[in-house]
Chains A and B, each alone.
Chain A
Amino acid sequence: MTSLPTNQLWKWFGLFAGILAILCLFLASIVWGVMNTNWQTVMDAYLHFNGSNEQIVIKDVRLPRALIATAVGISLGICGALLQALSRNALADVEILGLNSGASLAVVVAMIFFGVSSLAQFTWIAFAGVAVTGVLIYVIAASGREGLTPLTLTLAGAAMAALASSITYGLLTVNQQTLDEVLFWLTGSVSGRKLEYLQAVFPYMASGWLLTLMLAKPVHTLMMGDEIATSLGQNTRLVKIMSGLAIVLLTGSAVAVAGPIGFVGLVTPHLARRLVGPGLFWQFLYSAMLGAILLLTADIGARFLAYPTELPIGVVTALIGAPFFVILAGKGSEKR
């Protein structure tokens, strides 16, 4: 066991290295792609803009894409860490718990029945979808003899996901036109999104980040159990409600910009725990950082795995995250 100051130093150093990695990946994400560009073009696009195709691609496509991947990655990563801490469940994730499918269903319903098509409205609908699904899953998982356990939460989420996605696909087949409009959104992607999309939701996203970091200590106390937290003088209901709000803010805004992307928030908290130990504040920070790294990498992977066709980024994260989930699930219950 290293002494505290050194330990702290290492944590800051890790954070610094992580941010450096994000920067490198960010630049790589701008330069690499189907249309080949180099550093010079990137520099020129901002210093000597001459309207060439390459420069327009960089300004209008690549940069927004990299920014969105970073912001969404941070949101999903930090949200996953909060979810896992709160539910005391190493398998919790926005995808597994069905929050993504709930948001998708809400957006599709809004498009078909209420003719909603502007992004500003999408955001609110995605928020509502996440909130409603979250409450439903919580109620289903908590009702009954045993109450809320990690397993019932996961299984209730999986069942909700199946239900919501089947209804979504049913609605989409009935409305072929909507299918074409939202299919790419439904598989999750950070490409083809305008920067305004991100600007619209960024305030919610950022407040979600801050709220989560502020919640680190109270949630850590809550993890010891409701009784202990209460006897320590904590208003447990308030903490839970605030956490719920943070999850809705983070998931809702991430889904609104990039569509449902799964498994980022599943993988990152595990890595973060490995790296920084049990302190929740650092776990949240590291998980956010790793989320951005993961999503930027996945986005670059999405361009080259099936070159020259581009894959939806949700597919790439599922390819990374799903085996991870299977292994975790296989291991996790040995203690049971």
Chain B
Amino acid sequence: MKANYSVRSRKFAVSLLISRRAFWTTVFFALITIALAIVSTGMGEMKISPAEVLKALLGIGSPQSALVITTLRLPRILVALLVGGAFGAAGAIMQAIVRNPLASPDILGVTGGASVTAVAFITIFQSASIFLLPFAAFAGAILIAFVLYLFGWKRGLGSFRLVMIGIGLKALTGALVTIFIVLAPQILTSKAMIWLTGSIYGTSWTDVSLILPWFLILLALASICARHANILQLGEEIALGVGSRLSRNQLCLMLICVGLTGAAVAIGGAIGFVALLAPHIARQLVGPSFGSILPVSVIAGSFIVLGGDLIARTAFAPLDVPVGAITSAIGAPFFIYLLYKNRGR
């Protein structure tokens, strides 16, 4: 028995090496998440048993529960999975490039940037197609990434300084979001509010179709780039030494990361700390190889948002708490712990 599974192509420059343990951990974790998704679909105002949910999904359930599940519950569950997965992947990529355990798109303000342009897009171009929304969010995220690059990149990525710059950028983007919310007509205010905390309340199949292509394409690209990310994780000198085209690879991975963040923010708003937590969980479970971290981080992200959303909509029923409030309540203490652990770097 081999200790590793490898995916290689003779034609294209693709190589993924996944250890047996990591592979089975991933499968196991994925199954748990799917189970949670099924249970979660059944939870709510109208309780539906997991077996009934499965039946409804297969098209043999009672028409009543099938209606509730397919039109109301399922899109929200899928959005939770996709948004969480996108945040998880973005976090994993960000930490691979930046090599700073405190870095993640939300801590560094990239999520905030995406929120600003998303809110601006909604308030200014009220009649524009909603399918352009991810592009708007993407533009904002890129802008913040560029500012980060300008201020932090070349003078040492690993330091706390990048995090400090991120804190400032977050405050700035928060102020800008508030401006757009104040300027927005009354009916849009509640819609725009979700970008402050992050919520997947009232999502529909449109939202699923909005984020799905971004998620799939960018995740495929990220897998293709996995070998570059692995080398980048070793540090810039070593990466250069083994012949990696450093700047190009950094830029590619960064664009993927920013794209995933933008897509996730466009649907779910700035759901805090998911992108920070997921890669840390993944690293604990499967070790440092990026090929294994990426899928586990995606699953972990999905799991967090799904679980957080389940708590958010059931614990305070009939009210719907924004999922971002739940994830921040978990994530912020973890951030403090990370600070504590990484001091002196």
Chain A residues packing against B (C-beta within 8 Å): 91, 95-96, 140, 143-146, 151-152, 154-156, 158-160, 162-163, 165-167, 169-170, 173-174, 187, 262-263, 305-306, 309-312, 314-315, 318-319, 321-323, 325-327, 329-330, 332-334, 336
Knowing A166-B329, A336-B161, say if A159 contacts B335 (CB, 8 Å).
yes
Contact of B325 among A152, A166, A315 (CB under 8 A): A166
Question: How many B residues face the partner with a CB closer than 8 A?
Answer: 46
Pick out which of these stretches binds chain A: B79-87, B178-186, B288-296.
B178-186
How far is it, in angstroms, between the C-alpha of A309 and the C-alpha of B184 when the chains are bound? 10
Interface residues of A, dominant DSSP: helix
Knowing A146-B344, A159-B335, A162-B332, say if A330 contacts B175 (CB, 8 Å).
no
Chain B residues packing against A (C-beta within 8 Å): 102, 147, 151-152, 155, 159-161, 163-165, 167-169, 171-172, 174-176, 178-179, 182-183, 196-197, 272-273, 316, 319-322, 324-326, 328-329, 331-333, 335-336, 339-340, 343-344
A170 touches B160 (CB 8 A): no
Task: Tell me which residues across on chain A come within 8 A of B336, comparing CB atoms.
Answer: 140, 156, 159-160, 163
Task: Tell me which residues across on chain B come within 8 A of A332, comparing CB atoms.
Answer: 161, 164
A173 touches B152 (CB 8 A): no
How far is it, in angstroms, between the C-alpha of A322 and the C-alpha of B164 when the chains are bound? 11
A154 touches B164 (CB 8 A): yes
List 6 A-B pairs, Cβ < 8 Å: A166-B329, A263-B171, A311-B182, A315-B182, A326-B151, A336-B161
Contact of A174 among B165, B319, B331 (CB under 8 A): B319
B178 touches A159 (CB 8 A): no
A334 touches B155 (CB 8 A): yes
Minimum CB–CB distance from B116 to chain A (whole Å) comes to 12
Contact of B172 among A160, A305, A309, A318 (CB under 8 A): A318
Interface centre among A96, A146, A166, A306 (most CB of B within 10 A): A166
A155 touches B319 (CB 8 A): no
B339 touches A155 (CB 8 A): yes
Minimum CB–CB distance from B18 to chain A (whole Å) comes to 34
Question: A328: nearest residue on chain B (CB-CB)?
Answer: B168
Knowing A91-B164, A152-B339, A332-B161, say if A306 contacts B325 (CB, 8 Å).
no
Task: Tell me which residues across on chain B come within 8 A of A329, comparing CB atoms.
Answer: 151, 161, 164-165, 167-168
Minimum CB–CB distance from B242 to chain A (whole Å) comes to 29
Knowing A306-B179, A306-B183, say if A170 contacts B325 (CB, 8 Å).
yes
Question: B152: nearest residue on chain A (CB-CB)?
Answer: A330
A152 touches B165 (CB 8 A): no
B343 touches A162 (CB 8 A): no
